Amino acid sequence: MTRFADLGLDPDILEAVHDVGYETPTPIQEEAVPPLLHGHDVIGQAQTGSGKTAAFGLPMLQYVNPAEHEVQGLVLTPTRELCIQVTQALRAYGRRKGVDVVAVFGGAPIRSQQAQLRGGGHVVVGTVGRVKDLISRHALLLHGCRFVVLDEADEMLDLGFLEDVERILALTPSSRQTALFSATMPPEIRRLADQYLYDPVTVKVQAMTLTVETVEQFSLGVRPREKPDRLVAVLAAERPEQAIVFVRTKARCEQLYRTLRDRGMNVKALHGDMTQGARDGVMISFKDGRLPLLVATDVAARGLDISGVSHVINYDIPTSPDVYVHRIGRTARVGRSGRAITFAEPQQLRELRAIENHAGVTLAPWVEDAHVAPTAVKAKPRRHSKPHDRVDGDGRGRKLIASIGRAAGLEPSDIIHAITAATGLDGEAVRNVRVLERFTLLEVPEQDAERVVDRVTGTEVCGQPVKLEPAAT
């Protein structure tokens, strides 16, 4: 088995890896770190959960000279959530070495980011739009940038950022080293790689290698009014390192948070009615491990990589079996197992059975100190929904674009359901659903397209009015 020490990393980086608790490199790390340390450009085909951040982050940090006060590394990300996540990881990996990592993303005051950049910043992690903006204000200078990473390049393409990415690349030294990570390799991304990477080494890991994880799963029968006390008892018995408690609504989230806080627990809430700044703050302290307990709604927790979590507690039973798998997949700490406890009210037993069928497990009744064989959880990849297979018929489909996406908590089934409910079409007629951050692409049969647009536009999906229109082709 390859060890981190065999990859060619310097002692201070190895110590940092040890500090964050990684024992052995993941496959993408094993394959990408050595060529990157040898100065090669790399194309990494891997998705979130594979350990890709360390795969590019460790070599990048190894090459940063903390004594030089200029931006030496740049990571471009498609979304602010990924930006924050990558920043947290790089800060941890670079801590021993004293590397300053600055995050720049939209939706936050640009002035404070400018100030942070003036204050130093060896590595900048940024969303494409904000990086461009800071460059145009001369607040971000890239002439000393020797290492550039394009993270989740296919998502940048989907969001229409590719031209901006090229403009940014053009401002970095041509002698730079470039790594491009992408879950998929559409032709546009290939072309980008051909044009901007020099003789790259391609490394690829099977999708989902690390998203299959083991979780001990339990259920706990409770009456509604007993729930807060039972939760406190479960937390006391389980003594989780870090737990996330899922509830169904924002109001319940706020209420449960207050109850736990009033009982003296170190807890925070995360839901969609909080300001983005407040949400970011909570996410950062949870990700850092400073916050042991989080009460969250599904939607709010979506942008959060919480793979360090030891416990997931479904205080409110998930709204669908898919949501269950999604929630408990979050305990997926590489190489270790987590525990998931699902509260079920007496009239929710049918829902519980549906979850068991879907996840292919029987949830053992929770009692103190209970242990069961951990079961693999096939958490679906978060980023790209699996395209529906093409159905028969004339095969001609019309691409449509819906005005909401993952940021609103949308899952493919939500939009399919909205269309079938409004039009009477069969769910199979909706194909190639791709949920992106702020919108969703899908295809319906040509002859039904107009009706779908008319009937679905204005209906509510995930609590928001949706607009459907033909996608530009």
Residues in contact with ligand AMP by the rule CB under 6 A: 22, 25-26, 29, 48-54, 305, 307-308, 334-335
Output 43 or 247, the one with its CB closest to ligand AMP: 43
Output 53 or 77, the one with its CB closest to ligand AMP: 53
Residue 335 beta carbon to ligand AMP: minimum distance, rounded to whole angstroms: 6
Output 234 or 291, the one with its CB closest to ligand AMP: 291
Residue 162 beta carbon to ligand AMP: minimum distance, rounded to whole angstroms: 22
Q: Which residues pair with 432 in a beta bridge?
A: none
Q: Which residues contact 55 (CB under 8 A, 6 or more apart)?
A: 26, 28, 29, 31, 32, 33, 36, 44, 46, 181
Residue 66 beta carbon to ligand AMP: minimum distance, rounded to whole angstroms: 23
The b-or-e profile of 86-118 (16+ CB within 10 A means b, else e) is: bbbbbbbbbbbbebbbbbbbbebeeeebbebbe
Amino acid identity, position 239: R
Question: What gap in Å lies between CA 297 and CA 295, rounded to an integer?
Answer: 7
Amino acid identity, position 447: Q
Residue 50 beta carbon to ligand AMP: minimum distance, rounded to whole angstroms: 5
Q: Give the HSE-up count for residue 372: Cα atoms under 13 Å, Cβ half-sphere.
A: 20
CA nearest 210: which of 456, 471, 28?
28
The b-or-e profile of 252-288 (16+ CB within 10 A means b, else e) is: bbbebbebbeeeeeebbbbbbebeeeebbebbbebbe
Q: Decide: 155 and 77 in contact? Cβ < 8 Å.
A: no
Residue 11 beta carbon to ligand AMP: minimum distance, rounded to whole angstroms: 17
Output 114 or 209, the one with its CB closest to ligand AMP: 209
Output 7 or 404, the one with its CB closest to ligand AMP: 7
Question: What gap in Å lies between CA 134 and CA 409, rounded to an integer?
Answer: 30
Residue 325 beta carbon to ligand AMP: minimum distance, rounded to whole angstroms: 18
Output 25 or 35, the one with its CB closest to ligand AMP: 25
Output 48 or 342, the one with its CB closest to ligand AMP: 48
Residue 437 beta carbon to ligand AMP: minimum distance, rounded to whole angstroms: 16
Cβ neighbours around 214 below 10 Å, total: 17
Output 183 or 197, the one with its CB closest to ligand AMP: 183
Residue 118 beta carbon to ligand AMP: minimum distance, rounded to whole angstroms: 29
Output 158 or 213, the one with its CB closest to ligand AMP: 213
Where would I find the beta strands (DSSP E) of 209-288?
Answer: 212-221, 243-247, 267-270
Residue 434 beta carbon to ligand AMP: minimum distance, rounded to whole angstroms: 21
Amino acid identity, position 127: T
